[in-house]
Amino acid sequence: MKLPLKDLHGQTTGEIEVGFPLVEEGRGTQAVHDVVVAHLAAARRGTACTKTKGEVAGTGKKPWRQKGTGRARAGSFQSPLWRGGGVVFGPKPRDFSKKVNAKVRHLALQTALSSRLRDGDVLVLNELTLPAPKTREFVKVLRGLDLTGQTVLICAAPDPALQRASRNVPGVDLTTGEQLHTYQVLRYDKLVFTRAAFEQVEQRLKQV
């Protein structure tokens, strides 16, 4: 499969060959599901916490005597039956992360990217540099490339000038070819690679 190479004005300047085999449709969907679920689970903070009967502050005194009051027996102010008492089987801090094998992550990324390539949602630029680290310069680039939806820009290395220029533009995210993951490939409407970043991803997908 070949992809057109474009400049910052959206003009085609050449083409490149995709350097990894595309996954056929219908294959690898379970791997994609597992990786996305693991990614979203790992993003959960897991800090919900309730106090048990033994953790609630209070006295150890018996509320009232056992017999003769006409009321139900009570032995503790910290009882879960009482307002302000402990919580039975309540949430505790926990780690929601799930283990996913490297080969499954590899297949998921290859499957997701193959699907986006077939759908025409991948754009490869010769390079992505701005005259100045200004938001207006970055917006000009987006307009020149006719990018209006949710977009992820993939560069070969972190670019402080590009990060500064794009941080106030809604719906735009930045990453590198080494850090790109399956969830990002699926989440955004368009994937914009620099040529160097696309080659990075190709190298990742060639390694099994």
List the CATH number of the domain containing 16.
3.40.1370.10
For residues 125-153, average pLDDT: 91
Q: Are residues 15 and 51 in the same domain?
A: no
- 109 and 132 within one domain: yes
> 179 with 159, same domain?
yes
Tell me the pTM.
0.84
| 3-state secondary structure string across 131-185 | CCCCHHHHHHHHHHCCCCCCEEEEECCCCHHHHHHHCCCCCEEEEECCCCCHHHH
Query: Which of the listed residues 95, 130, 161 is the one where a domain comes to its end?
Result: 95
What was the pLDDT predicted at 208?
59
Q: Domain check: are 83 and 114 in the same one? A: no
Domain that includes residue 75, residue range: 47-95
123 and 190 housed in the same domain: yes
Total domains, the chain: 2
CA angle 9, 154, 102 (to 5 degrees): 155
**What is the rounded CA–CA span in Å between residue 186 and residue 183?**
5
Q: Indicate if the pLDDT at residue 207 is higher than 80.
A: no
pLDDT in tens, 163-172: 999 998 999 9
State mean pLDDT over 20-27: 90
Is residue 34 domain-shared with residue 59, that is, in the same domain? no
* One domain, residues 190 and 124: yes
Q: What is the mean pLDDT of residues 93-114?
A: 96
Q: Are residues 115 and 63 in the same domain?
A: no
Is the pLDDT assigned to residue 101 strictly greater than 80?
yes
Give the model's confidence band at 189: pLDDT under 50 very low, under 70 low, under 90 confident, else very high: very high
Question: Within this chain, do residues 68 and 156 fall inside the same structural domain, yes or no?
Answer: no
Could you tell me the strand order of the sheet in which 172-176 lies? 12-17, 2-6, 122-125, 190-194, 151-155, 172-176
Per-residue confidence at 129, pLDDT binned at 50, 70, 90?
A: confident
52 shares its domain with 29: no
